[in-house]
Structure 1
């Protein structure tokens, strides 16, 4: 077993153990002869007693020497399993602290918010370090690069006091990789990693709980300390989505609530507000581990661009009890659906507008031959569903409409003329896209294709738990169209490697199969409706009608004429927060992009004093699930023998010192010295007696 001394210089004090011997030698009395009568009768008794007294004195002398030597030994702070051997001194350390600042850390604990407890644990770490140790504070937010370096623990303490909780999500694998890269560049011999988090399951993005080795990028010599802040499973209710719907006569806000926890909650007060005015409220309930939608009918119509907020009664995590809602103004989104009247399909019309005056879209249906007299400026969205042909004059007007900001959704089918699309329609309305060959069979016989996500993190797949290579739905696609794309057009889903299924461009989306059940059974599956809606919502985000999440940018395309000459562009957020804006020319106008958002709320893109468009920025609802991994699962994901889980209530300083320098046992030695002192006193008293 390795053995070390933390204060090896004190070992020289063992020489003080010779003091009792020296005192004994210098204090010996000379023998004085005294005349006495015959000792013939005492000789035998005296010899036995002298031998006994001398033995006791030698034992007392040995105890005194041993006690002094052991005290010096204890002061040298001996330890087992340390990394420092006799004669060596402690070297500088490089310490990386991955601190979870996600909004889930704002949950109320038994005595204080978990964030305050986490900061207290970080202070414990800093107090356990030496003055010459270098410290890095590293974040675990995948969208924010946080990596602050401090030359000493005291400087890190000052920064910690000013640090506050964020509004982003947790990605612990990313945080650990950042720490590994930082420690690799450090020159110190001793390296340590502290991970302080609530270790919720959703924070291990892309990792399999209890299986994935998160320490694979760490040098084996790095000691890892895992400090869980959770207090067991915390039940939480959150607003995952809030959307304004309705007509010019009535509006409502549809709210989707999620209950994370086994216990139901039936006393939720759901309120919709505008500034300080309550626009509507209703009671709501959610069963355990489920989601529940509710509607709040508004008492008045919000004005165009008016910002409204949905709110539920608070629980232990208040941050996700609020959702900022983009207002749709006095009316729904006007959309034009173009279908061949000879073969009309009911699926897209029902998906976009299930009944009159119901749904997100105010839908009008029209045949291709009737588009000649249509005023396209009356519509925000154009849907071409299995359309064969459009006149040249119509294409010219549609191209102008697209350049002015119109949104386009195209689905293919058996009536599509591939040559017309490649030579006329796509170059005019969706440049950079070209259709290839028909693949598969005309009927549901033989093999079929599956729809798999290519960009699972895209907002189109919100709620799908999408993973690369895994089918998004159980639907079968027996006929598809090859699609070739050019940058900056991107593939969101595919039917197979190199076979795009869903592509997204500048205000346009194309689905490379049909949505009328002739080439697949997709319209009869549950994924059909949300995928159609979220495809359109993704385009709306570019025009000011969509939602942004904290950490993402505010962006949109405006008509160049909306921006006054030499006006200053700025994105104004909550509490006067100002974000810088960059602009670039695109075919449909001027694209404006802000810096990454930092807090939830409403953001307004402005040119001078003129508001160009606004965005509602919300937190990512995946962080609201406060279910945590167990300590056993945590240890399995850091299988290195140098990793330690420090549970609540266990002092960090003691654990760190024992891991750094071994387990000290000077206290046991001192206790043994006290025992020896008692024995020595008893022997001395007995000897005198």
Structure 2
């Protein structure tokens, strides 16, 4: 029970409370002086003095009784156990501290971070615990773990761990941390206590929480301000994801408002030496998107795209910045494999002139392993093998059907019916066939929606592979899109994506100017350029580019570093410890410790000149689950099946464990009752004196 007595043997003194009652009932008081003419009046006055049958002055009786009772109850030394069952400092106990070090604990409130306050509370809890049979410390992060594999006896290592610990920047798993704590206490045996020090963020403390054994008591110590609002950058995207040097970019930034009021904030975009600022208003508990269009850097390499909130003014700063490692390529490597025996010289000339007109195209030998897009004709065994090798590397393939080779097995096997038909050619005096767009919403035609770049299907063609017409209602082969047809519904352009990330084109569009007027139209060049832009292989970002907090980063340089030392630096130009890793047979560098949120750059430090050349970038962004600072409801935290003790923000550990000493309060109450009795007596005598007039003799 909450009320306890340290000397219960002295409770018999409380019987003294009946003494005032007995004394009050049997005592006489001095009667007032009156003049009587007979003895009968004197007898009546004496009867009124006795209080056995008709007591008077009930207020005095109550005050005297309460004073004696309060004084008597002070001797057994009563204690109010505010800790609701926590073991006292003098009792042996098994104690496990669960301390939250997730990313949200870096929020600063009142000039102090939540984690710094949590460490202070944990140290206070250990130092005020008194005698400990065993103790342990569990860190709450993405994978909770304990300092001791089993329950330990010494608190010094735990104090050192608390004093040197830092926020991990990771998300957390509150349920897993409780399971670790219960497991450690279960191995110790006997009663136990778990003190959880956390901001109790809802995303960390998600139900269901584990059941707590009956012999284990849980105390919750919150270290966060209620209803803390926050603004965060929730996402950062760049299109295209792998741009060419100098290519225009579209940067999308999504800002989220985790508060009950609308906020206006500035978003600063940084790419290389470029800096753009946009203003954005975000509604309460909502999100908004802002767009910037910086050009890509003029040189190839890795660059960091950064978005930063300015003027947010919230407690959590780690999610106000987000980065994205962007690889800029020199250009698109295109190779032509068009045998002159089946492709006219005029069409070959057109292909070369068109590709050279694009500044981002790099014409490459067809046998190179670095080809991004291969323009191919023919279907002999060598051609099939070449096409299969290109597709296996994730490159794109544009196949040009001819009279002798209308289709290709490699990549085009699912395009059934493409090879069925005949090669058809009309005379120069004939009008030829017109082209039509079949899928107007296809990305290939988005450039032409305003009409600024002409009409991609304007003009005529007098040569083609005449296959089976495809009506609008006809089902297409799985994975294929029919983008263009002739006016008689004969397929002109098929498109598909490969599992490796490349693009397939079945290009039934002769480009010899002698074969029609389509290659001479204004929209022709723009359409071919868009087709090659869409053919850029889908590249997977390298493993070092974007890393989750708590992970180790491994970077493989593209060439052996010479003339210096590879270093990793953070945004403040501080070096992050790295080590060489040759376990896979390739030279690589690995961080010694798990990464914290921030933007980092790999560089070559020239030893002689003491300067650095940036080679690559790594972005470790704040975890999304830690951005909303709202705490979990009490019903969720109490869902373990056993009510937990909720301590205040600044708990008095001595009171929580040893209870509140009540005997000084009882002594003070006794003195107060005696003082009130004295006042009542004085006031009563004055009233009597005022109402009774005693004549002088």
TM-score, normalised with respect to structure 2 = 0.55
Distance 1:383 1:47 in 2: 130
Distance 1:246 1:514 in 2: 16
Distance 2:502 2:296 in 1: 41
Q: In structure 2, what is the equivalent of residue 140 of structure 1?
A: 140
How far the C-alpha of 1:272 sits from its partner, in A, is: 1.0
Could you tell me whether the CA contact under 8 Å between 1:600 and 1:619 is conserved in 2?
yes
SS at match of 1:552: coil
Q: In structure 2, what is the equivalent of residue 24 of structure 1?
A: none
Q: In structure 2, what is the equivalent of residue 673 of structure 1?
A: 670
How far the C-alpha of 1:214 sits from its partner, in A, is: 0.9
Cα deviation code 1:470-514 (max 9, x no counterpart): xxxxxxx9989xxxxxxxxxxxxxxxxxxxxxxxxxxxx984999
Distance 1:590 1:398 in 2: 27
Q: In structure 2, what is the equivalent of residue 260 of structure 1?
A: 257
Could you tell me whether the CA contact under 8 Å between 1:167 and 1:598 is conserved in 2?
yes
Cα deviation code 1:513-546 (max 9, x no counterpart): 999899xxxxxxxxxxxxx999955x4314x6x3
Could you tell me whether the CA contact under 8 Å between 1:4 and 1:661 is conserved in 2?
no
CA 107–193 in structure 1, closer or farther in 2 if over 3 Å, else same: closer
How far the C-alpha of 1:236 sits from its partner, in A, is: 0.8
Distance 1:639 1:579 in 2: 43
Could you tell me whether the CA contact under 8 Å between 1:125 and 1:653 is conserved in 2?
no
Q: In structure 2, what is the equivalent of residue 191 of structure 1?
A: 193
CA 216–63 in structure 1, closer or farther in 2 if over 3 Å, else same: closer
Distance 2:114 2:535 in 1: 37
How many residue pairs get aligned? The number is: 513
Q: In structure 2, what is the equivalent of residue 551 of structure 1?
A: 550
1:221 alignment partner, one of 213, 216, 221: 216
Distance 1:549 1:374 in 2: 39
SS at match of 1:580: strand
Q: In structure 1, what is the equivalent of residue 323 of structure 2?
A: 324
SS at match of 1:256: strand
* 2:179 pairs with 1:177: yes
Q: In structure 2, what is the equivalent of residue 618 of structure 1?
A: 620
Distance 2:86 2:226 in 1: 36
Cα deviation code 1:39-73 (max 9, x no counterpart): x9999988986988xx9999999877644421113
Could you tell me whether the CA contact under 8 Å between 2:191 and 2:215 is conserved in 1?
no
How far the C-alpha of 1:257 sits from its partner, in A, is: 2.4
TM-score, normalised with respect to structure 1 = 0.55
Q: In structure 1, what is the equivalent of residue 641 of structure 2?
A: 640
SS at match of 1:376: coil
Cα deviation code 1:579-608 (max 9, x no counterpart): 33432236xx45654443234221428799
Could you tell me whether the CA contact under 8 Å between 1:600 and 1:617 is conserved in 2?
yes
How far the C-alpha of 1:642 sits from its partner, in A, is: 2.0
SS at match of 2:97: strand
Could you tell me whether the CA contact under 8 Å between 1:101 and 1:166 is conserved in 2?
yes
1:271 alignment partner, one of 269, 273, 276: 269
* 2:299 pairs with 1:297: no
Distance 1:634 1:139 in 2: 21
* 2:75 pairs with 1:72: yes
Which blocks of at least 5 consecutive residues in structure 1 are unaligned? 22-39, 339-355, 366-370, 421-476, 481-508, 519-531
SS at match of 1:373: coil
Could you tell me whether the CA contact under 8 Å between 1:223 and 1:643 is conserved in 2?
yes
SS at match of 1:247: coil
Q: In structure 2, what is the equivalent of residue 578 of structure 1?
A: 577
Could you tell me whether the CA contact under 8 Å between 1:141 and 1:170 is conserved in 2?
yes
SS at match of 2:181: helix
- Structure number with greater Rg is 2
Cα deviation code 1:527-574 (max 9, x no counterpart): xxxxx999955x4314x6x32232222224457x73789x99876655
Cα deviation code 1:384-420 (max 9, x no counterpart): 9xx9987697499879xx9xxxx64799xx98779x9
Could you tell me whether the CA contact under 8 Å between 1:17 and 1:65 is conserved in 2?
no
How far the C-alpha of 1:626 sits from its partner, in A, is: 1.5
Distance 1:337 1:254 in 2: 33
Higher helix share: 1
Taking only aligned residues, the RMSD between alpha carbons, in angstroms, comes to 6.2
Distance 2:210 2:270 in 1: 46
Distance 1:272 1:59 in 2: 80
CA 58–297 in structure 1, closer or farther in 2 if over 3 Å, else same: closer
Q: In structure 2, what is the equivalent of residue 280 of structure 1?
A: 275
Could you tell me whether the CA contact under 8 Å between 2:146 and 2:180 is conserved in 1?
no
Could you tell me whether the CA contact under 8 Å between 1:304 and 1:329 is conserved in 2?
yes
